[in-house]
Amino acid sequence: MTGTFIRQGRYFEEFEVSDSFVSAGRTITETDIVNFAGITGDYTQIHTNAEVARQGVFGRRIAQGLLGLSIANGLLVQLGFIEGTVLAFRELTWKFSRPIFIGDTIHTEATVARVKAMERLGGGTVTLDVRVVNQEDEAVQRGKWVVLIAAKPT
C-alpha cells in the first residue's frame, strides 16, 4: 500500500520578507565526517588524520565545510516549510567563517530576504539569508540561498 503525499510547505505567495525559520540543533560526530569523506572522496588530512590535524592551525580535526553546509540544508528541510512546494535549489552564495569541530552542536537560522515572482517557471524565487550557528552562538557559516517555490494552484 502506498501513502498519499500531503503538502506541508508554503506556496510562493505565502512567503514574506522577514519570515524567519530556526532549526533544531545537531551534534557533529566523527561518524559524520568519516561517512561524508566516503561519500564525497574528501579525505583531506585535516578531516581524517588526527595527528596531522593536531599540528595544524586548529589543533584538531574539523568537519568538511561542505558537510556543514549539507547538514544545514537538512536541518532546514526538516522544518517542512518547503516540503512539496520547492521546485529547485537555484543559487548559493556561501562563506565558511569558522571551523566546525567534532562535538560541536549546530543549528540553522534562515530569514526571507527577497521574494520574486517568476510566473513562467510556475512560482517564484525566495532568497534566504542563512546562518549556521554553533553552541557558542557563533556563526560558523553563512550566505544566501535562492530557491524556486511553486505558486498556489489556481
Owning domain of residue 133: 12-150
Question: pLDDT of 15-49, one tens digit each?
Answer: 999 999 999 999 999 999 999 999 999 999 999 99
Cα separation, 35 vs 49, in Å, equals: 14
Q: The CATH number of the domain where 57 resides is what?
A: 3.10.129.10
Whether 28 contacts 47, CB under 8 Å: no
- Outline where 12-143 has alpha helix (H): 30-40, 45-48, 50-54, 65-77
In a domain, 2, yes or no: no
> Could you tell me what percent of the chain has a pLDDT over 90?
94
Average pLDDT over every residue of 135-147: 98
In a domain, 111, yes or no: yes
Query: pTM of the predicted model, to two decimals?
Result: 0.92
In a domain, 35, yes or no: yes
In a domain, 5, yes or no: no
In a domain, 3, yes or no: no
Question: pLDDT of 64-88, one tens digit each?
Answer: 999 999 999 999 999 999 999 999 9
In a domain, 6, yes or no: no
Q: Number of folded domains in the chain? A: 1
